[in-house]
A = this chain, B = another copy of it.
Amino acid sequence: MRDAEQTRQNILTVAADEIHQHGFKATSLSVILNRCEISKGALYHHFSSKIELGYAVFEEIYTPMFLNVWHTPLDVDDPIEGLCDFLTAMTEDMSCSEVVCGCPLNNLCEEMANVDEGFRLRILSMQEQLNQLITDAFERVSDDLRTDLAGSQVGYFIVATLNGATSLSKSSRNKVLFQQVIAELCLYIRALKK
């Protein structure tokens, strides 16, 4: 037909961008409709409600994006250096929209985790997967690491600090504070080695 799948993907992409920019609640369906140049009937043909659209964005856009982004620096011989290089590169490559809008996962966590159970569980699962990626990578090279480390605790610590760093860049509207926190985080990560 008129390529229903293309329409659906277009909605998801635009919705992902709007949610990233304005949060879920403040995202207006009518704005999505305008940007996609479709009618409300079209949107509700593909998604049964706003929140179902939100779930689809999370699962089909954000989740694969995140897993892909984090796999790359951790799937190397030295995940410690891989992670530090990755984080440092982030401070340099960070686009304006990332400085201002923050991390989609963290944003949704702040906004929706305490309001909607469906979002909360999806976010929690994503955070656990992220933590697993880190702990698995560190476990692989555990011979090079200190023996007093508490596995998953370290992983969550890194994730938490990174989230807090993006938060700081939002209020300062520049990368400086973000860079400082990441620099300190890299010091911490490298100190995990023996």
A113 and B181 contacting across the interface, CB-CB below 8 Å:
no
Contacts of A127 on B, CB cut-off 8 Å?
Answer: 168, 171-172
Contacts of A22 on B, CB cut-off 8 Å?
Answer: 115
A87 an interface residue at 8 Å Cβ cutoff?
no
Docked complex Cα distance between A100 and B162 (Å): 20
Contacts of A113 on B, CB cut-off 8 Å?
Answer: 170-171, 173
B173 and A168 contacting across the interface, CB-CB below 8 Å:
no
Q: Whole-angstrom distance from the CB of A90 to the nearest CB of chain B?
A: 14
With beta carbons under 8 angstroms apart, the residue of B102, B115, B124, B180 that contacts A152 is B180
A123 an interface residue at 8 Å Cβ cutoff?
yes
**Which of A25, A26, A162, A177 has the most chain B CB atoms inside 10 A of its CB?**
A177
